[in-house]
Amino acid sequence: MVDAITFHNPENSFTIAQMHPDGAKSPVTLVGAMTLRPGESIEAEGEWVEHPKFGRQFKVERYVPAYPVTIEGIQRYLGSGMIPGIGPVMAERIVERFGAKALEIIDQHPRRLLQVEGLGRKRVKMIAEAWRQQRQLRDVMVFLQSHGVGTAHAVRIYQSYGDEAINTVRADPYALERDIRGIGFQTADEIAEHLGVAKDAPSRVRAGIRYLLEEAAGNGHVFISLADLHVAVTGLLEVDVELIAPALDRLRKDGDIVIEADRHFRTNLHRAEVGVAADLQRLLDAPGHKIPDQELDPDAETPNHDENADLGEDQIRALGLVRSAKAMVLTGGPGTGKTTVTRHIVQLLEKAGMRVLLCSPTGRAAKRLAEATGRDARTIHRLLEFAPAEGGFRRDRDNPLEAEAVIVDESSMIDVSLMHALLRAIPDEARLILVGDVDQLPSVGPGAVMGDIIVSGVVPVARLSKIYRQAGESLIIANAHRINAGEWPQIDNSREGDFFYIEEEDPERVAELVEDLVARRLPQGKGYDPHMGQIQVLTPMYRGDTGAIALNQRLQARLTPGRASHVVGDRELREGDRVLQVRNNYDKGVFNGDLGRLSRLEKEDGFAEVVFDAGGLQRYEFAELDELTLAYAISIHRAQGSEFPAVVLPLTTQHYPMLQRNLLYTAVTRARDLLVIVGGRRALGRALSNDRQARRHTALAQRLKADV
């Protein structure tokens, strides 16, 4: 029997309860997603875990609730507050009147409650409705758990579908993958199997195809070829290939996919890619604001000549493109002056009387752009006025941006969907300048937009290659260019250097060295503060001894021992931890990839506060903390668009599948003042020699060429 509830989060039903199991001498602490009340009996399955602070607990994976049968249990159950209108006093009166049949009366004959002193018709009606809702929740929980759904997922399903949860899951268990956060195809498929859905059922084949297209998009692809789809579907579902064609036809008719010859697109990605090509061509074809020739003449006896005196020939050529091109790309590696040219472009356009808007995909990149240009710069989402309640961006073709020029920094990070949204909002007469390093990793999301635009040849490209004097003094920048060319970096481990290499082959030893560098050597020797984001560990993978997960656990144990903490799923967050936002939260204005510090954690009040690097303090209820993860170590992909004072980069053969030249190049270019590579020569050599970038399935370059 449940003795007491010590904590309950109504958002996700995470509960801590005290229970006396039958025959036990002392109470047991239960933790997990549960909906319990004192006096209730349950049968629970799970495992014993040892909490570092609270000791031994039973982590509930699934449970079956049972109504109490004793008079004492029924009275405690009703008096627990689970039913509005019934408190301890009223519970005692009800039990005195109806005895062991009290719950049966409430369930089947609620009007008889009018016989109890103090209960009128209005209150009885409220009690009956509250009981119906509680019973429905329990019925749903029992049904879902009997079909292999864990309690946490069961709560989310009920919150999404309400009283229709059972009917919805029975009708289409694969809807769970689309509608419920945290439920993927594999889980939905297991539930479907429990419900008796056949392996070759058309609904299962369609769901498998949708899942594979979603998975391909997660790997950067905009479409899948039919041959690849055949291999993937038959491998995943273990069904005959003949079942795929009718499933594709149904998905196409339902509007879920678009088929172009051999290419199979999710409808939204097809719309985005077609839209990017069309809107880019629209901008190229439309007349734009004229820029007087003298504004660009480096030999003219004007103030502009003085301002451009520090520019090299390739930089001046880049400025020249601004006059002749409605859209252009400015690309180049570190130290080649992209920021300098961007600043001059802004000044040039403003002198011509044009309103210039500046933006970048991430908050950190937008902040750096603003600092470099002395102008306001916003994230693309803020520029386009994203309104989650309205389901999209306020700025679009019908409500375009008020600008004659739009400059977009870190453009290599922009996926096809976000580029589509941006281009839709740029008015016909405006100029578009895309700035970025095309040799870095492509966007995390689907597409390779900047690379495809360059390859198409439709948009003029200014490529900066000369490293200027001040940048040339940095080994970080010099070695970044060597790495990009496949050359071994120059090593100078003198104390005054900015590029260090510690050779170590053993992954466990590499992890120990990384921990010591972040927690002791760099703070003591160089004055960097790991709590404030001044040292960032970048790693190619999440798993393994030198993956992000293990390194975060090491560094948290070293940097925030004994701090106030809260357990979120399989991880612990502590006050003072570096954290990473893993989902877009438009209400808070923070986005996937934003970094910050968990500055405050209030256990009693159930909330935490995070100060984000890009600016702003945000409050998180404990139910929202699953949006955050530790960020002492993050993946190199996650670091795109960011720059850190010091970067520590572990490289081991455990990372072998991910060791590519552009990955190493991206990691090195994230360091502003100091870079330390810790790892073996084999791993470093593999990354340098492997210039085979994973080819993304996109059709943007072909679409742009076709529109010329």
Burial of residue 588 (CB within 10 Å: 0-12, 13-18, 19+) is middle
Q: Which two tokens stand for residue 655?
A: 């990372």
How does DSSP classify residue 581? E
The residue behind tokens 């802004």 is: 346
CB 684 within 8 A of CB 651: yes
The whole-angstrom separation of Cα 160 and Cα 556 is 35
Rg (alpha carbons) of the chain, rounded to whole number: 30
Residues in the chain: 708
Which of 626, 698, 686 has the alpha carbon at shortest distance from 658?
686
Question: Kind and range of the H or E element at 644?
Answer: strand 644-651
CA count, 13 A, side-chain hemisphere, 44: 28
User: What per-residue confidence (pLDDT) applies to 135?
Assistant: 77
Number of Cβ atoms within 10 Å of the Cβ of 587: 10
Angle subtended at Cα 608 by Cα 603 and Cα 613, rounded to the nearest 5 degrees? 150
The whole-angstrom separation of Cα 112 and Cα 100 is 15
Which amino acid is it at 601?
L
Q: What residues in the chain have per-residue pLDDT under 70? A: 9-13, 23, 39, 65, 80-82, 150-152, 293-309, 469-472, 693-694, 707-708
Strand partners, 647: 536, 675
User: What per-residue confidence (pLDDT) applies to 302?
Assistant: 36
Q: Which two tokens stand for residue 43?
A: 């049968």
Determine the number of helices (DSSP H) and then strands (DSSP E) in the chain.
Answer: 27, 28
User: What per-residue confidence (pLDDT) applies to 118?
Assistant: 87
User: What per-residue confidence (pLDDT) applies to 493?
Assistant: 79
The whole-angstrom separation of Cα 21 and Cα 704 is 69
User: What per-residue confidence (pLDDT) applies to 300?
Assistant: 41
Number of Cβ atoms within 10 Å of the Cβ of 310: 11
The whole-angstrom separation of Cα 540 and Cα 558 is 22
The residue behind tokens 């290659």 is: 465
pLDDT tens per residue, range 565-622? 888 877 889 999 999 998 888 788 888 888 999 999 987 778 899 999 877 899 998 8
CA count, 13 A, side-chain hemisphere, 357: 22
User: What per-residue confidence (pLDDT) applies to 163?
Assistant: 78
Q: What is the pTM of this model?
A: 0.79
pLDDT tens per residue, range 480-503? 999 999 999 988 777 778 999 999
The whole-angstrom separation of Cα 366 and Cα 561 is 34
Max Cα–Cα distance, the chain, nearest Å: 102
Q: Which two tokens stand for residue 305?
A: 């000549």
Question: Kind and range of the H or E element at 558?
Answer: helix 548-559
